Amino acid sequence: MSAGEVLPAIILRTRPLGDADLLVILLSARSGKLEAAATRARGSKRRFTGGLHPGMVGEATVSRGRGALLRLSAFMATRSHAPVGQDLHRFAYVAYLCELCDELVLGRQEDPRIFVELNRSLGALIEAPPRVSELRRFELVLLDCLGLLPSFECCCVCGGALRGEVIAFDAVRGGALCERHDRGGQRVPLEVLRLALGLTESDGAEGASSAAIVDAVEASASAVRRALRDLSVSLLRPHLRRPLRSLAFLAQLPQATAGG
């Protein structure tokens, strides 16, 4: 990394580093997840206008520091973060996406799609009324990016078609199961599997299909939304090394649960 390189980046987390510095965890578009020390960041108004908060999207100026730790000399936000502090649900949703990404993405794991999708979800939550279905979209897309997404479209054993309104599902075996290979897995409505599949499908540059499927989830029956939440949570849980603090906060919000 060259001296003073400017990277498109998203702040995932910060923590104090000494009396005046901050350790900043960034997700960059080109270099994956990075840790950088921001010297005197807790008092600087010039280099870090607006502070350094999870979910901020902008351009990070980073360079080699002491040892393996990078130095963050400036961060220029490219999207207003003000709405996050004005709505408790928006704040909680943004915190959850950042913590989930920080927990599952390994350091320097390069995957430009993760950056694109997190940026897209943060934009959807910050620039419009926040919708819990956007959390479902990012959860499933992140699992897909990491190669951890099971089969929703066909039988994970034989590739056969799924028939019936309720489908057997076993994430350990690889996902949905046809009638022939059903061995007592959990039961998931076929409608839920189709919504889950739709949420993971790639978009064009404008993300039109992504918005449409999120709209479809929002418009679905509450039982369907709960089943989709439960499915997504069950797929994430085995890959989390610790309980997420943001989930506990989400559970305390009015008309919100850990899965929405």
Asked if pLDDT for residue 90 goes beyond 80, the answer is yes
Q: Which CATH architecture has domain 82-150+185-251?
A: Up-down Bundle (1.20)
Local structure of 254: helix, strand or coil: coil
Lowest mean pLDDT across 71-80, 223-232, 247-256? 247-256
The confidence band for 2, taking pLDDT boundaries of 50, 70 and 90, is: low
121-134: average pLDDT? 95
What confidence tens digit (pLDDT) does each residue in 131-188 have? 999 999 999 999 999 999 999 999 999 999 999 999 999 999 999 999 999 988 899 9
5-77 and 82-150+185-251: identical CATH topology = no
In this prediction, residue 208 carries a pLDDT of 54
Which single residue is written with the structure tokens 């989709």? 228
User: What is the phi/psi pair of residue 31, to 5°?
Assistant: -120, 15
Closest of 74, 46, 42 to residue 58, by C-alpha: 74
The confidence band for 258, taking pLDDT boundaries of 50, 70 and 90, is: very low
The confidence band for 122, taking pLDDT boundaries of 50, 70 and 90, is: very high
Question: Which contiguous run of DSSP H or E holds residue 185?
Answer: none
**Taking a C-beta distance cutoff of 8 angstroms, is the pair 183, 159 a contact?**
no
Side chain identity at residue 109, one-letter code: Q
What confidence tens digit (pLDDT) does each residue in 172-227 have? 999 999 999 998 889 999 999 999 999 998 665 444 577 889 999 999 999 999 99
27-34: average pLDDT? 92
Q: In the beta sheet, which residues pair with residue 10?
A: 27, 57
So where are the chain's domains?
5-77, 82-150+185-251
Closest of 142, 95, 113 to residue 239, by C-alpha: 142
Q: What is the DSSP letter of 124?
A: H
Asked if pLDDT for residue 104 goes beyond 60, the answer is yes
Q: What is the C-alpha to C-alpha distance for residues 226 and 221, in angstroms, rounded to an integer? A: 9
Which single residue is written with the structure tokens 């479809």? 216
What confidence tens digit (pLDDT) does each residue in 32-80 have? 999 999 988 876 666 787 889 999 999 999 998 777 789 999 999 999 9
Topology adopted by domain 5-77: OB fold (Dihydrolipoamide Acetyltransferase, E2P) (2.40.50)
The set of residues, in sequence order, having a beta carbon less than 8 Å from that of 107 and lying 6+ positions away, is: 32, 33, 34, 35
Q: What is the C-alpha to C-alpha distance for residues 172 and 95, in angstroms, rounded to an integer? A: 29
What DSSP letter does each residue of 36-95 carry, written as one string?
EEETTTTT-SSTTTT---TT-EEEEEEEE-STT-EEEEEEEESS--GGGGG-HHHHHHHH
In this prediction, residue 40 carries a pLDDT of 82
Model pTM score: 0.91
